[in-house]
Amino acid sequence: MNLSKRGSVFLEAALIFPVIILTVAILIGYSSNSYEKVKSQVKAHNELREESLADGRIDKGE
């Protein structure tokens, strides 16, 4: 492999790797945010369900 070919490979890697790392970081952040939203929705749902069961509005057999 000649010198200019090696240099172009390193240049491509230097440009592409940060983009890949940034993309992965964004995906992890988005996934974490989505998980927290779903977690809070499930918590709210369970609280409302327990409240409904305690009030007798919903029969436990349903």
pLDDT (tens digit, 9 = 90+) per residue, 23-41?
999 999 999 999 999 999 9
pLDDT band for 3, please (50, 70, 90 cuts). low
Reduced to 3 states (helix: H, G, I; strand: E, B; else coil), residue 61 is coil
**Residues ≥6 apart with Cβ < 8 Å to 53:** 60
> Please, what is the Cα angle at 18 between 34 and 23, to 5 degrees?
20
Cβ distance 58 to 52 under 8 Å? yes
Instruction: Please state the domain extents for the chain.
Output: 19-62
Inform me whether the pLDDT recorded for 61 exceeds 90: no
Average pLDDT, the chain: 89
E strand or H helix that includes residue 13: helix 3-55
**Full-model pTM:** 0.66
